[in-house]
Structure 1
Amino acid sequence: MSTDYQQAREALGARLRELRFSSPGCRLTGQQLAQRLRWPPSKVSKLELGKQTATPEDLQAWAEATGQPGAYPELAARLAGFESHIRSWRRALANGFAPLHEGLTQELERTSELWMWEESVVPGLLQTPEYARHVIRRYAELLGSASDIEDGVRARVQRQKWLYCPGRTLHVLMWEAVLRSMICPPSVLAAQLDRLAGVVGLDTVELGVIPFTASMKIVPANGFWVLDDRLVVAEDWHAELWLDDADNVTLYKKVWRTLRESAVYGSDAHAVISSARRALNLR
């Protein structure tokens, strides 16, 4: 997880601990507070240590249980601050692309099952180096930052070792637009499509494609990853969101399963990829 984001969670946890210690009448132990809140003691500990992201409801309950309801607006402001700003692309890229990749790579190293959805770009775990170079360059040009494009490419390709480790499985869904988006020269896209065609049938990868002609039950919005049912990483133009609360993880898994209902697999997926490849009209 990004350093800034984790530091913000830890700072919020330290503030929650202060409220527990300064509870009017007596200093509360973690066990006593958990009993008041009817929470498992482990939740109190995780929130104070910055190992779990609090919800607004958690913060309000905490403020009231410690006898300091007036502290809630401050707690809510802290949460809103690091949820909406700390992981902004501009701030994250201040130190270049390589550190940005390292944070996600660390999370992947402890992940055994990964669900991905992409609506416009080939997922990083399946990108060729040349395709990755064009994608990273586009973001660098947009955000006006990060000169270490080649370091970013190397880090992204290095991360792909995850696919070949025993006991790991990638479930990836992509819209047909991914196969036809000309964010790189036709020759680069052709090589990338060949790479995807080769992935179909790999025993560690379940690759589904949603054709343009498929009936959709949900809007094919921004891409996201779900790591082991414990963490969601979702991307927008301004930021990368890391969501680890159970409600959001459940929501994104529901979105993924709904999208999957429109996907084709195996030979049908291969046919959609081949159609996009032929449309490039390369000799």
Structure 2
Amino acid sequence: MPAAPLFDLSDTRVVVTGGTKGIGFGIAAVFVQAGARVAVAGRSRLGVDAAVAALEELAGSEAPGRVVGLTVDVADPESCHALAASVTSVFGGIDVLCANAGIFPQAELATMTPAQLDEVLDTNVKGTIYAVQACLPALKESGRGRVVVTSSITGPITGYPGWSHYGASKAAQLGFMRSAAIELAKHAITVNAVLPGNVESAGLEEMGEHYLASMTSAVPLRRLGRAEEIGFAAAFLASREAAFITGQTIVVDGGQTLPESPDAVA
């Protein structure tokens, strides 16, 4: 019997939270094009339906049954359990969880309210943990479960004014990842993270042209990332070839975190 092709994700059952737009949609699109069965989850039914339609177009003639869309509020553990149950019912199990859902509202530290802090931590930190907990029985049953967390360079490596709560949440995700990787290793489940730099998205465009120009000028590759480039890293971590990698991070930032000073990329 011939060996399966390298990085073959055919029929892999994947859940992508926050998968309706931006990086999440880019991750979902890569998995769909690699032959996986993908469940995209988001808070808006309208957004979920639009994402499913776009992903089915990418899947082409193989679309029927390959893509499903579900609503979820990852900050609500019951909603996460309902998501996992629905995906398990439709796909017969879950092999990969891409815990991507996250928010990044700005708030200056001096005026940040408890509600603003709770909103970010509930979605970015608790939401990651709740999603993993909900999918855990199916990931164990898979026998080759994969968890890929979307963190960020902001927090674990860099900082930016107005995002102290966001940075704290993204660093917290990595603390969770390392301990979860140890705890779940006995079930052959790996837990890793991708750390995107600045990636082209509607959210980033809302920051304005000056912000976009300043961020681009700080990247040695002289461009912002594309959502699918984060998806390629996630797909690798989800592959059978990455079975011996756990508790690790992949920075996907075009070299943004490398320079000692702006003069280095002038």
Q: TM-score, normalised by structure 1?
A: 0.29
Point out the structure with the larger helix share: 1
The structure with more radius of gyration: 1
* TM-score scaled by length of structure 2: 0.30
